[in-house]
Chains A and B, each alone.
Chain A
């Protein structure tokens, strides 16, 4: 299963520089303040997340080192955390990081078809980034929204009750920078029973 969050390699771009944006620097200071004295290093996960968001969805060598320096940790300690959690991507990803759930409930409800659609629209393989840098498609295990299966996560949001057609539309809209609706694609309220055709 190829996944930019599941590698132990550090991706290095030459002459890459990572500095906290002013906004994020303030946020980082706020986050660090939440932890008791001498336990500041506990902020490593939120700070890595912040760095990932600033660095278009992935952690470069310099970003990891910046987090380490911010928390006075050694590089290897931060890298241990970054490689442990698959949420931290260690390779560049596209604008839309599409995680397709493939665990049993979603799979029974047709997640394979979603994967096929995603590959078609993005014209890329699983775990790779499309040439236009719009998509990185990966398969993941259960994301915990089985009642509205099949579902995918694109960046921070869930898209549920998908089928080939509405998923294709979502992807094409994303490709064309159009706005799309989050959540259930058939108007379901959270995880309520689907109205109308349930027997």
Chain B
């Protein structure tokens, strides 16, 4: 390996590294503004200057490739002087409004000015002023603060894949803007706020709300889509003020989508914080004892062996196992999680997991999307597909209606029958697909939410088995679930064959006959009309659609208020942490089922969260390893089915308001109006 000398210390580095990366290996910290690991190199801020032996002047370490035998100095007087000079130039036009700037306290420029800035200005002239730009409902701009690092421009062009931002003019007239100040049309637009090293791009909903040092920071995971991005939640008291991404190369890299970041104002609206019982068609506040006893009476009256439990979008594994054990104790196995009617192959975990892992997308050179709009269903995962397109020229084929993706794709068909062509290598894309080295199949729930769903899975497994990269250790068949609860529920066997094929109709049928007690675990994606004759117990945190039609409402904490376990689409076990105490009288679901089990004499044995988790691990060993996923590639269910004509309709119509939390969010409503409705109108 080549070696480089940094501050008299010899380090080995890999070919292709820059001087800056080599310096980091040697433990020398280099200040920077424009350089960012995940973006292309611009080299325009000049803050990373270092001295190189035999070079007449300092070099920009971020843009200089490291070479064998180079001698670099990072702490000489020259370097210090050069950085001071750069800092002085940057501060010439930077306003002194730190006391009212939202970036204050976490600002790169502020921090580095402390080290490299002069204590007084030598600049007598007027500072320049730049007009603020409109960039939509999420990003607020104070453009006078901009230091033109162009991170935001590179992010939107390279990662988000929308050519919206640009740097106009030059020199003193340089300005960052969108074309004619249009809204940034991307689900990842919030990330430019994190990328901005100064306070030029800040969060609009968070404007002037708080200071970073006042906030309690909790490291946790996101539950608003299936990816389970690593996030940090900043709270003050019982208020979640903002969500920031954490680096996790397995799932979200450094990004999170705008719903994860901005739907948090929904966490303080429409909340269920008290127990309600319906009397005379009106929901009245009640206490826990009355409500639980009423449930007991109803269970006995309506037949406890008929009880049904259905999980929703945010149901954690603890709730699933507690409700499952409870229902088992009552003698019922009528529980299920597939409210969108997505089909699976029972007892085959490959039929509902993202088997190849999200990271593998980067290596793909051909991807077949079956009934999936990854841009909306898993935005950060979609950024990986775009990465594969940029780095490997990945070819994407789409089976389903036209999509607005941020990479080019080949449309195969509107109907699922396009899969037959792929199998028989009939279409042009199928040849590309079968001849590529690292092809992946990604199946969305919109492709399998019909009675033919199981056949689609079988056929896709058949195609996957014949792909060149299929092996004992690698499985190119991926199912992209939209909800964080789905894989965990299925892993725990929270599923009943009785509800196969036609979920809602089967429920409706069952309710008509048995008139049972039905537990909705935060499920709002089912038509309340179908539940009319049942006794509905809604356990959840938002007063959305189904809570209004419930007979009893039991409040439970939202994902920022409890410590719970989920499995993301890959089957990776993630845990959320309690960022603040639950609102009102909310109780964790497993506690509710524990008390109910006492009332019903079905004897659940857990008394604390650790006990519940023991059951979890007993039930499924995959829950043992946090942040790991053990995926297998045993596609025994593969069979060459023939798919009949079936047109796909994507089951997600509004990215911004797709669950009970984001439907309660004002910010998300603004996004819907300004971004989606405007796009529709034009």
Contacts and interface: CB of A to CB of B under 8 A. Distances in A.
Interface of A: 6, 8, 10, 61, 73-77, 79-80, 83-84
Please provide the 4 A-B residue pairs with the shortest distance between their CB atoms, ordered closest to farther.
A74-B163, A76-B166, A76-B179, A8-B168
A79 B170 contact: no
A77 B163 contact: yes
B170 A76 contact: no
B136 to A, nearest CB: 15
Contacts of A6: 169, 173
A134 B164 CA distance: 37
B180 interface: yes
A110 to B, nearest CB: 29
B163 A80 contact: no
Interface of B: 163-170, 173, 175, 177-180
A74 B173 CA distance: 22
A76 B175 contact: no
Contacts of A79: 166, 168, 179
Given A61-B180, A76-B165, A79-B168, 10 more contacts: A8-B169, A8-B177, A73-B163, A74-B164, A75-B179, A76-B163, A76-B164, A76-B178, A79-B166, A84-B168
A61 B165 CA distance: 17
A77 B178 CA distance: 10
B169 A77 contact: no
A10 B166 CA distance: 14
Contacts of A74: 163-164, 179
B104 to A, nearest CB: 28
13 contacts: A6-B173, A8-B173, A8-B175, A8-B177, A10-B180, A76-B166, A76-B179, A80-B166, A80-B168, A83-B170, A84-B168, A84-B169, A84-B170
Contacts of B163: 73-74, 76-77
Nearest to A75: B179
A68 to B, nearest CB: 9
A54 to B, nearest CB: 22
Tell me which of B164, B166, B178, B179 has the highest count of chain A C-beta atoms within 10 A of its own C-beta.
B179
Contacts of A83: 168-170
Contacts of B170: 83-84
B180 A77 contact: no
A81 B576 CA distance: 47
A61 B180 CA distance: 10
Chain A, interface SS category = helix
B167 A80 contact: yes
B406 to A, nearest CB: 12
A6 B174 CA distance: 11
Contacts of B164: 74, 76
A84 to B, nearest CB: 5
Contact of A77 (B166, B173, B177): B166
Contacts of A10: 180
A75 B177 CA distance: 12
Nearest to B165: A76
Nearest to A86: B170
A146 to B, nearest CB: 23
Contacts of B179: 74-76, 79
A41 to B, nearest CB: 12
Contacts of A73: 163
A173 to B, nearest CB: 35
Nearest to A84: B170
B435 to A, nearest CB: 22
Tell me which of A75, A76, A84 has the highest count of chain B C-beta atoms within 10 A of its own C-beta.
A76
A84 B168 CA distance: 7
Nearest to B166: A76
Contacts of B167: 80
A83 B169 CA distance: 5
B196 to A, nearest CB: 18
Nearest to B175: A8
A13 to B, nearest CB: 14
A66 to B, nearest CB: 14
Nearest to A73: B163
Contacts of B180: 10, 61, 75
Contacts of A76: 163-166, 177-179
Contacts of B165: 76
B589 to A, nearest CB: 48
A73 B179 CA distance: 13
B121 to A, nearest CB: 26
Contacts of A75: 179-180
A77 B177 CA distance: 11
A99 to B, nearest CB: 18
A159 to B, nearest CB: 28
Contacts of A84: 168-170
A83 B172 CA distance: 13
Tell me which of B169, B170, B178 has the highest count of chain A C-beta atoms within 10 A of its own C-beta.
B169
Nearest to B180: A10
A60 to B, nearest CB: 13
Contacts of B177: 8, 76
B618 to A, nearest CB: 55
Contacts of B169: 6, 8, 83-84
A76 B180 CA distance: 9
B169 to A, nearest CB: 5
Contacts of B166: 76-77, 79-80
B679 to A, nearest CB: 16
Nearest to A85: B170
Contacts of A61: 180
B527 to A, nearest CB: 43
A96 B168 CA distance: 27
B20 to A, nearest CB: 26
B627 to A, nearest CB: 38
A76 B184 CA distance: 12
A17 B167 CA distance: 26
A75 B164 CA distance: 8
A144 B161 CA distance: 42
A80 B169 CA distance: 7
A6 B169 CA distance: 8
A74 B157 CA distance: 10
Nearest to B170: A84
Contacts of A8: 168-169, 173, 175, 177
A6 B170 CA distance: 9
A170 to B, nearest CB: 31
Contacts of B173: 6, 8
Contacts of A77: 163, 166
